[in-house]
Chains A and B, each alone.
Chain A
Amino acid sequence: MKPISPWQALLRHRSAQVGGTLLALIMLAALAAPAMSAWDPIAVDTAHRLLPPGTEHWLGTDELGRDVFSRIVHGARWFVGIGLATLAASAVPGIVLGLAAGIGPRWLNLLISGIADVLLSFPYVLLMLAVVAILGPSLGTAIIAVGIGGVPGYIRLVRGEVLALRQAEFVEALQALGASRWQIARRALLPNIASPLVVYASFVTPLSVLAAAALSFLGLGVQPPAPEWGAMLVNARNLLLTAWWATAAPGFAIFLAIFSTNLLGNALRDVLDPRSRWAAT
């Protein structure tokens, strides 16, 4: 039996197919948002407030007469953008610090793990609120706040994997060949922890987007009139009984986006994580 590549295995995995397709649709919406809807997502039209879904406005209009479908489609841009930004804001410093803790001297390891533990001991929301309180509410602040909240998780993962890998024979062999610490980190350690990192990121990133949406919901993140899904929810929440479409649409969009990312994450874990591969066979 010929072993198949992780890529092929992913293409055959049912939840990767479903999650991947949904996520691809969201990406498509983000890219082609202006072409997908005739309506301007932020144009106020008080003559047509709170219209129910119909042929003119597919998902109705909100309290300011803005087309909900157009806002949902444009909101995909915010979802993708916020996802990538929070991913970078927590993964990059987390990986750098985790590596430093794993290969650096003992005191650095203790210092970095200590900082990670302190950050982890704060409730996530409290930590985010503290950052927003210091920096003031804006999109950038929300991303920084969510990003900082995600850093200690990456530190722990990378540090643990690196400490385990340092015992591996090929790392000792690389030392015996005259490789420097930095070369070993770049050539041997990072590529070898890529799989658990990808899996971890696929689970944590949707949570970060959700946290950013929560900040927007609290009025501490994305500011009106931007068509961000969390912000749309909060604007329409008083109209839940009279104009259900104005809340149901962004709510469902958030659900769908998180759900598809999680499906893809599940598939990635099955394909890349050797432990779950053993468990499956």
Chain B
Amino acid sequence: MTAPVLEVRNLRTWFDQPDGRAVRAVDGVDLKLHAGEVLALVGESGSGKSVTALSVMGLVARPGRIVEGNIRLDGEDLRRATPARLQALRGARMAMVFQQPRASLNPVQRIGDQIAEQFIRHQGLSRHAASARAIELLERVEMPDPARRARDYPHQLSGGQAQRVGIAIAVALRPALLIADEPTTALDVTVQAQLLRLMLQLCHESGTALLLVTHDLGVVAQVADRVAVMYAGRVVEQAPVTALFDQPQHPYTEGLIASLAVPGQRRERLIDIPGSVPALDQPFSACRFEPRCARRIEGSGSPCRHQEPPWVSGSTGAGTACWLRTDLSGNP
């Protein structure tokens, strides 16, 4: 097996609070992503998905800081990289697509110029040559009438068109890694599928690995090769996409899948997971999902209440962190 494009090991990103405590937004995350692969990072709001993505990009701003862990891009240790090196990698070897397409474009610069900027910044192209490349890119992201559209400002575009521009900017230099943070959440359902397909196609063409951050399991089922489910700052289950939907190993994953509304099937009531995400400002001395878990082991000797579950590896990269999957003696 070839070396992974992205390897994240035991990443901890905490946010210092004025009272001296720290919110442990990301608390021990491991991820691996190979060239051309699509990994979906799933979880509810506040589970640490976006902070994981920003940590990889080196864009965690104070009061947040990476406390521990390893991030390697093409084998290069990003935590040891200088700010200048990180700046050179961002946009060229690793790029990002954002949730709010129009808000993530500069409102006072023509979109063609915003795309061209990438070629000028990272490849030193002349403005003229870069503008020509920008129009080619707009054509590749299926923007109608690209030469004319290049002269538009962001407010003249629809949300879907703006996200096409966002994708064009991100894939301009054929990065090794593309991180898409809820790229279609703000868009119409009809446009969502088009843009997902487009993004997959572009990644496929240039062998780009895609880390898709989302809370939408419908999107995951359509596009992902593998899925990592995050809960309260930790990956609780990781599996190939079919295995995850067919045989979820973690009760939280089960809950997420059960809460999916299935079209055409009328339910007595909508299923949800009771409770909410726990406070993250102190270390856990029990399973972090235990208070909401429908299948927790009851009784005073229950490991669920006394220790964090270890990671239990299954077949080929799959695994979960749940006491139900151990032999219950505490030994994985």
Contacts and interface: CB of A to CB of B under 8 A. Distances in A.
B92 A178 contact: yes
A180 interface: yes
B43 interface: no
A173 B96 contact: yes
A187 B122 contact: no
A173 B107 contact: no
Interface centre among A172, A178, A183 (most CB of B within 10 A): A178
A172 B118 CA distance: 15
B98 interface: yes
B122 A178 contact: yes
A188 interface: yes
Contact of B121 (A173, A175, A179): A179
A170 B106 CA distance: 6
Interface string A177-208: 11110010001100110100000000000000
A192 to B, nearest CB: 6
Interface stretch (B82-90, B128-136, B282-290, B311-319): B82-90
A178 B91 CA distance: 5
B38 interface: no
Nearest to A180: B87
A176 B87 contact: no
B104 A170 contact: yes
Interface string A214-249: 000000000000000000000000000000000000
A176 B103 contact: no
A187 B95 contact: no
Contacts of A194: 108
Contact of A176 (B88, B95, B105): B95
B59 interface: yes
Give the contact-size bracket for chain A.
10 to 19
Nearest to A179: B121
Given A170-B103, A176-B91, A177-B169, A191 B121 contact: no
Contacts of B121: 177-179, 183
Contacts of B95: 176-177
Nearest to B86: A178
Interface centre among A168, A169, A173, A175 (most CB of B within 10 A): A173
A174 interface: yes
B109 A173 contact: no
Given A170-B106, A183-B121, A178 B98 contact: no
Contacts of B138: none
B117 interface: yes
Interface string B59-94: 100000000000000000000000000011111100
B100 interface: yes
Interface in B166-183: 166, 169-170
B29 interface: no
A100 B215 CA distance: 39
Given A169-B100, A187-B117, A175 B90 contact: yes
B57 interface: yes
Contacts of B109: 187-188, 191
A143 to B, nearest CB: 31
A177 B118 contact: yes
Interface SS of A by simple majority = helix
A178 B90 contact: yes
B105 A172 contact: no
A201 B331 CA distance: 71
Nearest to A195: B108
Contacts of A172: 59, 98, 104
B106 A174 contact: yes
A178 B169 CA distance: 11
Contact of B104 (A169, A187, A192): A169
Nearest to A183: B121
A13 to B, nearest CB: 22
A205 B105 CA distance: 33
Nearest to B57: A176
B103 A177 contact: no
Interface in B141-189: 166, 169-170
Interface centre among B57, B103, B104, B117 (most CB of A within 10 A): B104
Nearest to B172: A177
B60 to A, nearest CB: 11
B59 A188 contact: no
Contacts of A174: 106
Given A177-B95, A178-B90, A187 B169 contact: no
Interface in B9-42: none
Interface of B: 57, 59, 87-92, 95-96, 98, 100, 103-109, 117-118, 121-122, 166, 169-170
Interface of A: 168-170, 172-180, 183, 187-188, 191-192, 194
10 contacts: A170-B107, A173-B96, A173-B98, A176-B57, A176-B98, A177-B121, A177-B169, A178-B89, A179-B121, A187-B106
Closest 9 A/B residue pairs (Cβ)? A178-B91, A177-B91, A178-B90, A173-B104, A191-B108, A169-B103, A176-B96, A169-B104, A188-B106
